[in-house]
Amino acid sequence: MKEIGNQAKAMGGTKALVVCGVSKHGEALGKDVAALLNGSGVASAIFAGAEPNPTDTSVHAGAKMYASESCDMVVAVGGGSPMDCAKGIGIVAANGGNIRDYEGGGHDLKPLPLLITVNTTAGTASEMTSFAVITDTSRHIKMALVDWRLTPDVAINDPELMVSMPPGLTAATGMDALTHSVEAFVSTIATPVTDAAALKSIELIKGYLPKAVSDGKNMEAREMMAYAEYLAGIAFNNASLGYVHAMAHQLGGFYNLPHGVCNAILLPYVQTFNKEAVPGRFVLIAKAMGVDVSKMSTDEAAAAAIDEIKALAAEVGIPSGLGEIGAKEEDLKMLAENAMKDICGMTNPREADLAEIIAIYKSAM
């Protein structure tokens, strides 16, 4: 991160809007980044308004500040939330209107401001992806936005900044990264490039996530998780995701729950549904997680992959069901209807109807 001032200067920025979280931790990091920028002669204004599951309201407040402070670049510091908020700010700053106008993809966007992302969790890969996820406060849903122009110009992954993550956040964000790799690996548009990134990332997460959770100061584990989540980003940025994310977005948007926890709980249940469509893929996931599949049938090995995912989630302390985190049986139909509209579900390997999505939610309760 120490290089950020020189980098911003070299990119031609003169005044950066620094977008950070609302907590003491987030604000302090925003100040650190502003000081480093100022040290290289790049001025800054701090927008400490990116809350977890960042909202349309925050995006608009940030875009207003970008204009009133005459900024010409955006620097985000924090987890997926500040980074996605910064992407949203860039869209509105350059294109005007309401962030809701840009839901989904395929919009004819004007070029966005320069964007540097400093990532402090090991999960979302938002520091390098073309996705942003913004909560629509009027509909209580999370909108997925996808456009190549959302890809940050420079991504900084510094494991020193990840040491302060408590065990629960480490576990949730690490399981988010695992979800990215698994969904990308079984996606209908997977390629040899995304497969290589996904499998390596699955292997690293299995090996290092428990260590990062049990001892947050283990720098080898922190560094390997930073590589793992970035590799997962390469995979899903190109192969997209599946029903886990489509369904998790609804839980996150409606109940304001942590993204990684929603994914982690849903992951084995969605993959149980997916298994029959691409059993061979699950055999390779089992192998990447260290299972000796040599004496197993395809079905046994595919089932073992799902058992491994469940065991890893339990080992790092993920709650065992959606009921435990506050989801209500009576909301599942509405959540399922919205999940079917989420852009992330388009590449899921097995198509589900409404009743099947509801059944998956129920099985994960």
Residues that bind ligand NDP (CB under 6 A): 21-23, 25-26, 52-53, 78-82, 84, 120-121, 123-126, 129, 131-133, 142, 161-162, 164-165, 169, 173, 176, 252, 259-260
Copy the structure tokens of residue 218.
């283990």
360, HSE (Cβ side, Cα atoms, 13 Å): 28
Q: At its nearest, how many Å lie between ligand NDP and the CB of residue 186?
A: 17
Q: Report CA 95 to chain centroid distance, whole Å.
A: 24
Q: Which residue, 7 or 124, is less far from Mn ion as judged by CB?
A: 124
Q: Of 13 and 80, which CB lies nearer to Mn ion in the complex structure?
A: 80
Please report the sign of the dihedral spanned by the C-alpha atoms of residue 48, residue 49, residue 54, residue 58: negative
**Nearest approach, Cβ of 216 to ligand NDP (angstroms)?**
9
Query: The tokens of 117 are what?
Result: 């992302």
Q: How far is the CB of 236 from ligand NDP (least distance, A)?
A: 8
* Number of other residues whose CB lies within 10 A of the CB of residue 308: 19
Rounded Cα–Cα distance for residues 365 and 351 (Å): 21
The interface partner of residue 56, options being Mn ion, ligand NDP, none and the CB cut-off 5 to 8 Å by kind, is: none
The sign of the torsion formed by the CA atoms of 129, 60, 66, 21 equals negative
Q: Shortest approach of ligand NDP to residue 80 CB, angstroms?
A: 2
| Complex with ligand NDP: residue 173 or 272, whichever CB lies closer | 173
Question: In the chain, where does DSSP find H-type helix?
Answer: 4-10, 24-39, 56-68, 80-95, 167-185, 192-214, 219-239, 243-255, 259-274, 279-288, 298-315, 332-339, 354-363
Minimum separation from the CB atom of position 137 to Mn ion (A): 21
* C-beta neighbour count of 273 within 10 angstroms: 18
Which does residue 162 bind out of ligand NDP, Mn ion, none, counting CB within 5 to 8 angstroms by kind?
A: ligand NDP
Q: How far is the CB of 152 from ligand NDP (least distance, A)?
A: 10
CB of 46 to ligand NDP, least distance (A): 12
Q: Is 342 in the site for Mn ion (CB under 5 A)?
A: no
Q: Is 176 in the site for Mn ion (CB under 5 A)?
A: yes
Q: How many residues does the chain have?
A: 365
Q: How far is the CB of 174 from ligand NDP (least distance, A)?
A: 10
Q: How far apart are CA 197 and CA 184, in angstroms?
A: 9
CA 39 to chain centre: 31
How many whole angstroms separate alpha carbon 297 and alpha carbon 291?
13
Closer residue to ligand NDP (CB): 237 or 271? 237
Contact criterion met (CB below 8 Å) for 100 and 56:
yes
Q: Which does 78 bind (CB under 5 to 8 A by kind): ligand NDP, Mn ion, none?
A: ligand NDP
259/310 with CB nearer ligand NDP = 259
Q: Which own/partner pairs from 138-142 qualify as long-range (CB within 8 Å, at least 24 positions apart)?
A: 138/56, 140/253, 140/254, 141/249, 141/250, 141/253, 141/254, 141/338, 142/53, 142/249, 142/250, 142/252, 142/253
The nearest distance, CB 26 to ligand NDP, in angstroms, is 2
Interface stretch with Mn ion, choices 6-14, 110-118, 169-177, 275-283 (CB under 5 A):
169-177
Q: Which is nearer to ligand NDP, 93 or 133 (CB)?
A: 133
Nearer to ligand NDP, 144 or 302 (CB): 144
Candidate ranges 135-143, 173-181, 283-291, 293-301; the one touching Mn ion (CB under 5 A): 173-181
Question: What does 133 interact with, of Mn ion, ligand NDP, none (CB < 5 to 8 A by kind)?
Answer: ligand NDP
Of residues 169 and 212, the one with the C-beta less far from ligand NDP: 169
Residue 88, binding choice from Mn ion, ligand NDP, none, Cβ under 5 to 8 Å by partner class? none
Residues in CB range of 330: below 8 A, 6 or more apart = none
Which parts of this chain interact with Mn ion (CB under 5 A)? Answer: 176
